[in-house]
Amino acid sequence: MGRQPPIYNVEEREGLRVASKFNAQLMDHVRPHVTAGVKTRELDDLVREYTLEHGHTPACLGYNGYPACSCISINEVVCHGIPDDRELDDGDIVNVDLTTIVNGWYGDQSETFLIGQVSDEARRLVQVTFESLWVAIRRIEPYGKVRDIGAAIYKYARERDFEIVREYQGHGIGRSFHQEPGIPHFWFRGTKAGGQVIRPGMCFTIEPMLNIGTWKTNLDKFDNWTVRTLDGKLSAQFEHTILMGDDGPEILTLTQNGPQEGHSF
């Protein structure tokens, strides 16, 4: 990062829409299989097979050496969980993060799923995380500031006694996986961060990660990918790819079968 965010023209915006639409379709394909007893590696196999069958590329596979086609993060894993032979159990919460390259363009999103009967605390965490994403989306407008996103999420989450991960953030997206603008999900008054203007034609992800306990995280020293909460308590995340239009944000990764704005878990 560090460069100015690209401003996409009409033709380029259509490329972003097509990639994001397929990525949402992929999430719906995987959705019915995210159940108790399934191995996370089996979910990753579904992602790979469906993506390749449609002539597209799993963006995560090989990215900076990442060994899988998706990130699947269970319970205290904040993000970048590597699929393996672990089976999902009743009571788990699990984030499925998918990114696809379609004709050179990237689509990116994630959802947190509830497996069977989860605790009231886990359900509330997932609900507030989902709502914080939508609060942020509805807060932004053309020529607003990136800081508006973090301010909206921070206020909403802290009023409900959840913490917001600060070491990881959303990002610009297009012909590259990660680019400007960076999208922090928190903001403190008096800091200079987040002054980037959100101009029509900019595309980026909003992906708040909320924790029951501390906001601090720990990177697994063995695989150098898996990020866990420092205190081992639950974390949840939701993500959409957003294209800022002339009249407001366009959500590119809406699914047909997944939770929509206002959904109750």
pTM more than 0.95: yes
Q: Which residues contact 182 (CB under 8 A, 6 or more apart)?
A: 1, 146, 169, 170, 171, 172
Kindly report the CA angle at 138 between 21 and 114, in degrees rounded to 5?
A: 60
Q: What is the pLDDT of residues 209-230, one digit of tens each?
A: 999 999 999 999 999 999 999 9
- State both tokens at 223: 């695989």
Percent of the chain past pLDDT 90, that is, above it, reads 95
Architecture of 10-251 per CATH? Answer: Alpha-Beta Complex (3.90)
Q: What is the pLDDT of residues 8-65, one digit of tens each?
A: 999 999 999 999 999 999 999 999 999 999 999 999 999 999 999 999 999 999 999 9
* Residue 83 identity: P
**Residue 100: is its pLDDT beyond 80?**
yes
In this predicted structure, what is the pLDDT of residue 175?
A: 98
